[in-house]
Amino acid sequence: MLSLDDRVDRLEKKSRRSLLLTGLASLAIGAWLGAAADPMSKTLITSNLIIVDEDGRPVIDLAGSTEMGGRIHVRDSAGIAGLVLSAGESGGVVNIFDEKGKRLIRLGASPTGDGMLLVSGADSEPLIRAGRWSATEGASVWTASSSESSTP
């Protein structure tokens, strides 16, 4: 019969061998899985993706929904969207905002479904509209000073 010290030594050696074999097997499996994966062919599927800066503040967010379609917000360090791209049932829309979040430019569909460009002043009142509206027959370009009414 083995002494207690001899039995403990045998168990410790057996434990070290088991641990070493488990580690080697894990490395082999990890290398096999890693070699099988092509990092350039990965697809990320999600309903929302938020990219943050080094302080954890959102700077770009991508979202999609059945009602609104896809959207991309590009934000400044204060979290205010400066550029919003969206695509929904009425087509694509590009909106550009100032540092206070007021829209300066909109490019998308007019109320009649035709193309439209809208340029607004700092007070959010339209300065230039190019496109077609239901109130105006045919295509038109409408310009106004910031003191004029926003209705063409």
* Residue recorded with tokens 């002043």: 121
- Please tell me which residue, 77 or 15, carries the higher pLDDT value: 77
Terminal C-alpha separation, the chain: 105
pLDDT greater than 50 at residue 152: no
Strands ordered across the beta sheet of 81-88: 48-52, 58-65, 69-75, 81-88, 91-97, 103-109, 115-120, 126-131, 140-143
Q: What pTM was estimated for this model as a whole?
A: 0.61
146 — pLDDT class (breaks 50, 70, 90): very low
pLDDT greater than 70 at residue 142: no
Mean confidence (pLDDT) of the chain: 78
- Please, are residues 76 and 96 in contact by the beta-carbon 8 Å criterion? no
Q: DSSP secondary-structure letter at 41?
A: G
- Helix (H) or strand (E) run with residue 35 in it: helix 4-36
* Residue recorded with tokens 């969206």: 86
Domain boundaries, the chain: 4-39, 48-143
> Could you say which architecture CATH assigns to the domain 48-143?
Alpha-Beta Complex (3.90)
- Please, are residues 67 and 86 in contact by the beta-carbon 8 Å criterion? no
